[in-house]
Chain A
């Protein structure tokens, strides 16, 4: 793990990159990374996340600044701008059932090619997908997802990069931290090694590439 300034962390992200971003309706989203992406005017991004939040919050900031080419998410209902861009053909949106989305990401981070799930069988989600039978039940083959970068919000990070999360801000964060080539963490508290007890480390340090320093 290396430390990096906020500016340099975002400077690593090229236009056209794919980003997994933590958060659920912006709770657990690294806001200062969102603000810095907007400031550096990144373009043509693919975002993989639970949702596109709402205008002015979290991923909603990237949507409003028209930085996304594609969004792979489970919900856009609270962001009218995402819906407008989708209807206008400016933004490609792939809607994925939430449990399937997180499990595809988990598969990507755990070295699996995909997962089998009953969710979506017989619905439009099945279109174009392989169906397999296990013990007489139909399952969809849902392929693994990975990204170039994971942008993670931790509640606490130690100097080595061990991470802990708070309350409902955990959501996608520890799962995306396993599923991207480069993992960038913004932590609300940076603490000495040992402050987080081994039993309370939720993401082990070796998977973290960069910890954004306090400004």
Chain B
């Protein structure tokens, strides 16, 4: 199975009925594809929509109904729209239950860097800093390493996104939590052993006695 799909299917299990959830661009967007039938989630797009639905059928898109990446979406029954001040009031004000974001680096205390590679990639932080600062729960979805380079590091070398540590990190090899501010291996990926995870991780990982293999959400 592709690593992106493993990550998305594992994170899908964290979504519970009635939650207000904001999914970032990339792997996080895939999470919506792996929810059980009938589970009602309020998906927010920070450009001003709650009730974001899947892309429209060919020829049925509306130029003024898009997600935060500018792609056409649909609005599910019960959807509502609002301005950007309201949108970020929802994000910062303790109303957003969960955000799932991509990452460039996560360090062993749970700090996330995901918005800039100085002098190389300077896209701007968009809503990332507000999401990490303000959401009730933050989950990072990312590949465990990038072309052999560690992404789960002792200390972020890239500028961090917020002083607030993330709650959960999901890769194709591991689910990592940060109880007491220390990266802890909670689950291993399909077919991966704890020692494989440790070998692929620069950060120091706490390894509990029993580490189960991750269960995946709905295919």
List the interface of chain A (C-beta within 8 A of B).
24-28, 50-51, 54, 73-78, 83, 86, 95, 97-100, 102-103, 106, 117-125, 155, 165-175, 202
Contacts and interface: CB of A to CB of B under 8 A. Distances in A.
Interface string B172-188: 00000000000000000
**Is chain A's binding surface mostly helix, strand, loop or mixed?**
mixed
B88 interface: yes
B63 A97 contact: no
Interface string B49-76: 1000000000000111110111000010
B49 A167 contact: yes
Interface string B65-103: 110111000010000011111011001100000000000
B211 interface: no
Contacts of B63: 27
Interface in B156-211: 159-164
A175 B84 contact: yes
A120 B46 CA distance: 18
24 contacts: A24-B66, A24-B68, A24-B70, A25-B47, A74-B125, A76-B123, A77-B124, A77-B126, A95-B124, A98-B126, A98-B127, A99-B88, A118-B92, A118-B133, A119-B92, A121-B133, A123-B162, A125-B129, A167-B65, A168-B81, A170-B83, A171-B84, A173-B83, A202-B83
Contact of B46 (A27, A86, A98, A155): A98
Contacts of A75: 123-126
A76 B124 contact: yes
A168 B127 contact: no
A139 B127 CA distance: 17
B28 interface: no
Given A95-B124, A97-B125, A50 B64 contact: no
B124 A102 contact: no
A76 B82 CA distance: 23
Contacts of A174: 83
B122 interface: yes
Given A99-B127, A120-B129, A167 B134 contact: no
Contacts of A124: 159
A171 B65 CA distance: 11
A168 B64 contact: yes
Given A51-B124, A121-B163, A123-B159, A170 B82 contact: yes
The residue among B47, B49, B75, B92 with the most chain A CB atoms within 10 A of its own CB is B47
B105 interface: no
Contact of A123 (B69, B92, B160): B160
A119 B75 contact: no
B48 A117 contact: no
B143 interface: no
Given A100-B130, A170-B81, 6 more contacts: A24-B68, A28-B64, A74-B127, A119-B134, A125-B125, A167-B48
The residue among B63, B81, B129, B162 with the most chain A CB atoms within 10 A of its own CB is B129
A86 B130 CA distance: 24
A95 B125 contact: yes
B132 to A, nearest CB: 9
A99 B163 contact: no
A83 B134 contact: no
B66 A98 contact: no
B45 interface: yes
Contact of B49 (A74, A168, A173): A168
A175 B86 CA distance: 10
Contacts of B85: 102-103, 106, 175
B84 A76 contact: no
A168 B129 contact: no
Nearest to B73: A168
Given A27-B66, A50-B84, A171-B47, A122 B160 contact: yes
Contacts of B123: 75-78, 83
A118 B130 CA distance: 8
